[in-house]
Amino acid sequence: MYDILLINPRTGTERYSIPQAPLNLLCLAAVLEKEGYSSKLLDMPVLKSGDEKALITNYAKNSMCVGVSSMTGTQILNGLKVSSYVKEYDSHIPVIWGGVHPTLFPEQTVENKYIDVVVRGEGEYTLLEIVKAIKNGKGFEEIKGATYKKEGKIKSNPDREFCNMDELPLPAWHMINVEDYAKPYNYLDAKRVLPVHASRGCPHSCAFCYNIQVNKRRFRAKNAEKTFEELKYIVDKYHLDGIVFREDNFCTDKKRIKKISELIQAEKMDLHIICSLRADRFKDEELLSSLLKMGVRTIGMGAESGSPRMLGLIDKNISPNDIILSAEQSKKYGFYTVYSFIIGLPGETTADLRQTLDVIDNIKKTNPNCDVTNINIYTPYPENKLYNLAKSQGFNPPTTLEGWGNFVWDNLNLPWVKDENLIKTINQASIFALNEQALDKVRKRNFIFNLAGYTLHKIEKFRWDHRFWTAPYELRLVRFIRKLDEVV
């Protein structure tokens, strides 16, 4: 009998992405285990297809309660599906939801008939107290960070204070089959890669980011020694040659980065590391030197736009010159830097779009070893300044949890965009003309996919080079490939 069954539902992107270890649930499980509570973890994205309902029911009947993690989009629908399996088996088993989306919309989430409690914000100690209360037959009235149903009414307790990161135990890696995740990682020259998540939050104010609401612009981190302890543990135990620092803003504390770098060097660890870095931090030679000595080979950077006006709108606090400088510095230090951009922002003009495309060309000209992973289409995810601006310009957000489950990036819901085909064609061109790794994945499937990938590359490269965006008939080809991919 388990005290809690923890479930990470499918995201809907499994076919196109590398399995990501469910670090959030591993952290929750570690705290529960430390306090003497047992848990079982089901990471649905890596499980083979089969009778999912029977699987969930089998584990639920041997669990005191069930916890479900979810982010905005398709994962909500899959989370509701697994929650319904639990309730159909036994409506008295408490179902607890957590994650960024339930944190942003706790009342709307708990309104759903399959959900009893929402954990807001950091979940380790809120979930621990909820499990303890359920086991002891008590209510949730005194539990900070909990939103719940009581006698037909929804109650929200005060927020919980942020936890001390240094007091958290190591994630419970033993609860999953690590071989499902220790695999090559996009844009990193390593064969066995796992993530480390040793900090939370970001001090910056990007207008589209969840951090402002969830983390209150507070950066909290495990100290350098604790971070190194976690890194060394998984490197040694699972024979890794690569690490992803999966953090909101890894390089916020330069002294911490320098110390981590020194500890890695002292241990003579030969690792290839990927981390994130803001464009304006590429000016800091001391920081770049520490990253290089640490083993950082790939840097992910959210450039977002090449338009100064749009960068100002989203409070990015960087300039196009910062973005170009980052390409220069990447070339100097030998970093493979991958950039992401956003188009379709509220108020974006054709001139703004042109500036973004020109900056991308400038990046590639400055450092051909840099890459653009994607030009993403803006999606008004809640709840931030840009989301509120989107609403003022005609965006109507979903009013139910199920509605948010159908809210995905490729279903444009941007009333200010007058030419959807223009946005979609530029997005597609960025994938097939600029992103070689994405193109390789298509080509490797089989002959039909290889031919389609070759055709799309030629078309989109022509479009990109000539800024020719009309008559996007190849969008139909992409829809065909997607449908074919669902069958194969």
Going by pLDDT thresholds of 50, 70 and 90, the confidence category of residue 445 is: low
> What residues does each domain of the chain span?
2-156, 182-418, 432-488
Going by pLDDT thresholds of 50, 70 and 90, the confidence category of residue 479 is: confident
Going by pLDDT thresholds of 50, 70 and 90, the confidence category of residue 382 is: confident
> Using one digit for the tens of pLDDT, what is the confidence trace for 317-337?
999 999 999 999 999 999 999
**What is the C-alpha to C-alpha distance for residues 89 and 61, in angstroms, rounded to an integer?**
8
Q: What is the mean pLDDT of residues 95-122?
A: 97
In the chain, % of residues over pLDDT 70: 94
3-state SS class at 265: helix
Q: What phi and psi values does residue 307 have, to the nearest 5 degrees? A: -95, 120
First and final C-alpha spacing in the chain: 39
Going by pLDDT thresholds of 50, 70 and 90, the confidence category of residue 364 is: very high
Give me the helices (H) in 245-377, please: 254-266, 285-294, 308-313, 320-333, 350-366
Tell whether the model's pLDDT for residue 487 goes beyond 70: no
Q: Which fold has domain 2-156?
A: Rossmann fold (3.40.50)
pLDDT at 32: 98
Between 457 and 444, name the one with better pLDDT: 457
Report the C-alpha dihedral over residues 395, 396, 402, 406, rounded to 10 degrees: -30
In angstroms and rounded to an integer, the radius of gyration of the C-alpha atoms of the chain is: 23
Q: Classify residue 375 by burial, with Cβ atoms within 10 Å: 0-12, 13-18, 19+.
A: buried
Going by pLDDT thresholds of 50, 70 and 90, the confidence category of residue 98 is: very high
Q: Which CATH class is domain 182-418?
A: alpha beta
Tell whether the model's pLDDT for residue 488 goes beyond 50: no
> Using one digit for the tens of pLDDT, what is the confidence trace for 69-84?
999 999 999 999 999 9
Query: What mean pLDDT, rounded, does the chain reach?
Result: 92
pLDDT at 477: 73
Q: What phi and psi values does residue 91 have, to the nearest 5 degrees? A: -65, -10
**What is the C-alpha to C-alpha distance for residues 205 and 400, in angstroms, rounded to an integer?**
28
Q: Which distant-in-sequence residues (6+ apart) come within 8 Å of 336 by Cβ?
A: 187, 297, 298, 299, 330, 369, 370, 371
Going by pLDDT thresholds of 50, 70 and 90, the confidence category of residue 486 is: low
pTM of the predicted protein model? 0.93
CB 111 within 8 A of CB 154: yes
Bridge partners for 299 per DSSP: 275, 337
* CA angle (94, 102, 99) in 5-degree steps: 90
β-pairing verdict for 117-119 and 95-98: parallel
> Using one digit for the tens of pLDDT, what is the confidence trace for 175-213?
999 999 999 998 899 999 999 999 999 999 999 999 989
Amino acid at 28: L
β-pairing verdict for 272-276 and 146-150: unpaired
